[in-house]
Amino acid sequence: MYLCSMTHKAGFVNIIGNPNVGKSTLMNALVGEKLSIITSKAQTTRHRILGIVNDDDYQIVFSDTPGIIKPAYELQESMMDFVKSAFEDADVLIYMVEIGEKELKNEDFFKKIINSNIPVILLLNKIDKSSQAEVEEKIQFWRKKVPNSFVYVISALEKFNVETVFYKIIELLPEAPPFYPKDQLTDKPERFFVNETIREKILQQYKKEIPYSVEVETEDFVEEENIIKIRSVIMVERDTQKGIIIGHKGSAIKGVGTDARKDLQNFFKKKVFLDLYVKVNKNWRSNDRQLKRFGYKD
Ligand SMILES: Nc1nc2c(ncn2[C@@H]2O[C@H](COP(=O)(O)OP(=O)(O)OP(=O)(O)O)[C@@H](O)[C@H]2O)c(=O)[nH]1
Ligand SMILES: [Mg+2]
């Protein structure tokens, strides 16, 4: 019998911060897979999404979370509950800020960060958009504001310094056995990634309030030898929004389908047939039962 002298490290590394700072871009870069959707609009991420990185002697369970906001309707309250849960089980907290911002959009959450008794890594992101002088000034600013943190400057988009942060995370991980099977990449099922990919295209293609009124549900996901046949519903809150999503003679929704199908083929590494349709689900964002149905509540 061989006794292994190497210790195993494992833990939850939870990424939090204001909307649009680059949390999802970072998680995808750290995991090396596109698990989270990314757009230029705030409030792209609505769920807590796990991304698991496995090696023989460690397992890092990253969590991407929704951007911190003051909730205005029930869906946003659920989104902030995901952020709260990320505070509760973190072994390492990643607080991401972007060049130009000065404070977290929720004072209570900020207090939790500066009073945290677990390690905090503060990442100053998007430094590719900034000058050296400005970056140095911001490092000083954030060191003072979050004195209990390890501060790093990064560009999640250009993957600058991401590897350095990765090694710091491994250093900070506690000794523990793995939490998930070593071949597991995420906690979410295939249909979730279908829904999110479609929602990403909607965020990119439509203006103003439309993307925020949309939820996507995949009704069929049938995998055959050479093709995956998918049927998904795009749900909106009102009749007028249905017309906008479809567009003149279906032109708008056709664009969503084409773009989503391309991404899904890359994600599943298989040919995809995607059938989309639109339904009204009145005020689903404020309806407890609907929020449960879509996985925003237990
Ligand atoms: N220039 C630059 N842009 C970045 C960088 N990282 C992310 N972005 C861009 O910032 C925007 C928001 O990125 P996301 O990763 O979706 O941000 P997020 O924090 O997950 O946003 P929410 O989910 O809405 O809270 C996208 O347009 C990204 O391409 C970076 O290092 N440099
Ligand atoms: Mg995000």
Which amino acid appears at position 53 of this protein? V
Name the region of 269 (left: φ>0; alpha: ψ -120 to 50; beta: rest): left
- For the CA of 46, the closest atom of ligand 1 is 23
Whole-angstrom Cα distance, residue 228 to residue 270? 7
In this structure, the answer to whether residues 204 and 151 fall within a common structural domain is no
Indicate whether 3 belongs to any domain. no
In this structure, the answer to whether residues 164 and 207 fall within a common structural domain is no
Nearest to 30 by CA among 50, 48, 8: 50
In this structure, the answer to whether residues 144 and 196 fall within a common structural domain is no
More confident residue, 77 or 1: 77
CB atoms closer than 10 angstroms to residue 73:
11
In this structure, the answer to whether residues 128 and 41 fall within a common structural domain is yes
Indicate whether 4 belongs to any domain. no
List the CATH number of the domain containing 226: 3.30.300.20
User: Does the CB atom of residue 128 touch ligand 1 within 6 A?
Assistant: yes
Mean pLDDT of 236-257: 97
Indicate whether 34 belongs to any domain. yes
In this structure, the answer to whether residues 220 and 277 fall within a common structural domain is yes
- At 189-204, the pLDDT tens digits run 999 999 999 999 999 9
Q: Are strands 227-236 and 215-223 parallel, antiparallel or unpaired?
A: antiparallel
User: How does the average pLDDT of the chain come out, rounded?
Assistant: 96
Backbone angles phi, psi at 90, to 5 degrees: -70, 140
* DSSP helix/strand/coil, 89: coil
Which of 14, 37, 38 maximizes ligand 1 atoms within 8 Å of its Cβ, making it the mutation to test the pocket? 38
User: Does the CB atom of residue 52 touch ligand 1 within 6 A?
Assistant: no
In this structure, the answer to whether residues 43 and 156 fall within a common structural domain is yes
In this structure, the answer to whether residues 201 and 125 fall within a common structural domain is no
Indicate whether 82 belongs to any domain. yes
Domain boundary pick from 139, 172, 205: 172
- What is the Å distance from ligand 1's center to 138 Cα? 19
In this structure, the answer to whether residues 131 and 215 fall within a common structural domain is no
Whole-angstrom Cα distance, residue 276 to residue 199? 12
Q: Are strands 49-55 and 58-64 parallel, antiparallel or unpaired?
A: antiparallel
**Residue 205 carries which DSSP code?**
H
Based on the structure, what is the number of domains in the chain?
2
Mean pLDDT of 74-100: 97
Q: How is residue 183 written in tokens?
A: 């071949």
Indicate whether 2 belongs to any domain. no
First CA to last CA distance, the chain: 45
pLDDT band at 223 (very low <50, low <70, confident <90, very high): very high
Residue 36 near residue 64, CB atoms below 8 Å: yes
In this structure, the answer to whether residues 24 and 161 fall within a common structural domain is yes
List the CATH number of the domain containing 140: 3.40.50.300
pLDDT band at 2 (very low <50, low <70, confident <90, very high): low
pTM of the model: 0.96
Nearest alpha carbon, ligand 1 atom 5: 157
Whole-angstrom Cα distance, residue 122 to residue 149? 6
Domain boundary pick from 172, 204, 235: 172
Indicate whether 114 belongs to any domain. yes
Closest ligand to C-alpha of residue 83 is: 1
Closest ligand to C-alpha of residue 68 is: 1
In this structure, the answer to whether residues 280 and 204 fall within a common structural domain is yes
In this structure, the answer to whether residues 21 and 164 fall within a common structural domain is yes
Nearest alpha carbon, ligand 1 atom 21: 20
How many Cα neighbours within 13 Å face the side chain of 231?
4
In this structure, the answer to whether residues 164 and 204 fall within a common structural domain is no
% pLDDT > 90, the chain: 97
Q: Is the pLDDT of residue 6 over 90?
A: no
Indicate whether 263 belongs to any domain. yes
- What is the Å distance from ligand 2's center to 1 Cα? 47
- What is the Å distance from ligand 2's center to 211 Cα? 14
Domain enclosing residue 90, as ranges: 9-172
Backbone angles phi, psi at 127, to 5 degrees: -70, -15
Whole-angstrom Cα distance, residue 23 to residue 271? 30
Cα angle 102, 106, 108 (rounded to 5 degrees) comes to 120
Whole-angstrom Cα distance, residue 71 to residue 55? 38
pLDDT band at 129 (very low <50, low <70, confident <90, very high): very high
Indicate whether 277 belongs to any domain. yes
